[in-house]
Amino acid sequence: MPGSGCPPAAASTCWRRRPFDWTDEDLAIGLSRTFRWGGHSTWPGAPLSVAQHSLAVLALRRAKARGGLAQAEARRELLHDAEEGLLGFDCISPLKPFLGTGFAALQDRLSAAVALRYALPAWTPEAKRVHKSCDIALAAAEAVHVAGWTREEVRGTLGIRAAVLAADPLAALYDSEPWRPWPPELAAERFLISLKRLSPG
């Protein structure tokens, strides 16, 4: 990764030696160039980045929060997929069983390093439940509005039971076209701004 001496391909060894050897900029770039849905998109030349997805989950979670989210809780939402930016890989669900326990353990180690680096609070059962409802709702919406699945396929093939959101939670915040994936440079910039705002101290 730029400036860190720790390319994504070496994540399994590099972060075991130096678990904080990345910058916020590295993370933002990694997430902006890591694509959901295997890079598939109905938008010409525009796959959806994990950076944009992470901002959408945060926005939806804030909309559902009664009384607002504490800064640390918001930071945890923003960084819920941060290990994917360090790996440069968002594994599609059907592939995960074939990667086995080694891949799951690597994800867990990177997630733990992210949690320590950014002082993320542990998930409570209720916080995890509400987070997952937002994450799954975004997955259903992305499947239809970005990846081109039908609503029937979302339920029958993907097994996602959440209703498909019509409104993009980021459209009003960024005055952007609903559900259009952002260019990586823009996604990185917006993710980094949000991360800096939410960082402790």
Beta bridge partners of 49: 35
Cα(22)–Cα(184) distance, rounded to whole angstroms?
Answer: 19
pLDDT band at 2 (very low <50, low <70, confident <90, very high): very low
Averaged pLDDT, 178-188: 98
* CA–CA distances in Å: residue 79 to residues 152, 161, 162: 30, 24, 22
Q: What is the predicted pLDDT for the residue at 142?
A: 98
pLDDT band at 89 (very low <50, low <70, confident <90, very high): confident
Q: What is the predicted pLDDT for the residue at 44?
A: 93
* Mean pLDDT of the residues in the chain: 90
pLDDT band at 131 (very low <50, low <70, confident <90, very high): very high
Q: What is the predicted pLDDT for the residue at 200?
A: 84
The encoded tokens of residue 125 equal 């059962």
Residue 74 has pLDDT above 80, yes or no: yes
Per DSSP, helices labelled H in the chain are 11-17, 24-32, 50-64, 71-78, 82-87, 96-117, 125-145, 151-156, 171-174, 184-198
CA atoms in the 13 A half-sphere facing the CB of 117 = 19
Averaged pLDDT, 135-147: 97
**pLDDT, tens digit, for every residue of 18-50?**
667 899 999 999 999 999 999 999 999 999 999
The encoded tokens of residue 124 equal 């409570």
Name which residue leads in pLDDT, 39 or 94. 39
Cα(111)–Cα(83) distance, rounded to whole angstroms?
Answer: 6
Residue 15 has pLDDT above 90, yes or no: no
Kindly report the backbone phi and psi dihedral angles of residue 35, in degrees, each rounded to the nearest multiple of 5, phi listed first.
-110, 140
The encoded tokens of residue 160 equal 């996602």
What distance lies between CA 121 and its chain's CA centroid?
A: 17
Q: What is the predicted pLDDT for the residue at 12?
A: 43
pLDDT band at 6 (very low <50, low <70, confident <90, very high): low
pLDDT band at 11 (very low <50, low <70, confident <90, very high): very low
Q: Which residues contact 47 (CB under 8 A, 6 or more apart)?
A: 35, 36, 37, 39, 40, 41, 181
